[in-house]
Amino acid sequence: MLEFLIRDAKTALKSFGYKLKNNLLTLEDQEEALTNPKWAYYFAKDIPGASIEACQGGVINNPEWAYHFAKDIIGADIEVCQEATIKDYEWAYYFAKDITEANIEVCQEAVIKNPKLSYYFAKDIPGTDIEVCQEAVIKDPYWAYCFARNIPGANIEVCQGGAVNEPYWAYRFAKDIQGANIEICQEAAIKDSESAYKFARDIKGANI
């Protein structure tokens, strides 16, 4: 039993994870680092003399670590990392938000697959095409409402067309959004009894 324990301990001491945790990595460990995106990132970040190009090749199959690589590693190829990152719309958003050299248009094309992140892209990213984000956002009534309420330059009529697909958000649109078409919102709100009641109670101009 003792022999097995000693053997396992020696194996653990040689493992990449152990070396990484205890700052024992050397350049000789680079080949193994490339087998795992997280390891490749930390190897490039922490080991003097690491091949940035080789380590970058180890992260580009993982959008999250491609983002971190572009953000933190001096000498990273931003364009290459971006191509990897945009395969995931969440990391495409963070790439555009945090990476100075990001191509906003390219990141936006990835993000518009998701209404929530399209809203935040328009809200947080300078240089965003508001109209493109809006077209994605209106597929979800809640985010259509948020877009109309919080994004300068939003097209109220277009956002309203998205919000009225759900009675509650039709009511809220009429209640909170300046320029809302009360009649159109009411037609949508009355499809739900509670929303119809709130509409009649709260909306000036409602047809009681």
pLDDT for 186 equals 97
Assess whether pLDDT exceeds 80 at residue 12: no
Question: Worst-scoring range by mean pLDDT, 14-23, 83-92, 183-192?
Answer: 14-23
Q: What percent of the chain is predicted at pLDDT more than 70?
A: 93
pLDDT for 3 equals 53
What's the CA gap between 182 and 97, in Å, rounded?
A: 36
Which whole number is the average pLDDT over 45-72? 96
Chain Cα centroid distance, residue 82: 13
Q: Any idea where the domains of the chain sit in the sequence? A: 1-111, 112-208
Assess whether pLDDT exceeds 60 at residue 10: no
- For 171, residues 6+ apart whose C-beta sits below 8 A from its C-beta are 185, 189, 195, 198, 199, 202, 203
Assess whether pLDDT exceeds 70 at residue 4: no
Structure confidence by residue, pLDDT tens digits, 98-136: 999 999 999 999 999 999 999 999 999 999 999 999 999
Structure confidence by residue, pLDDT tens digits, 34-43: 999 999 999 9
Quick one: DSSP state of residue 155? -
Which whole number is the average pLDDT over 2-31? 65
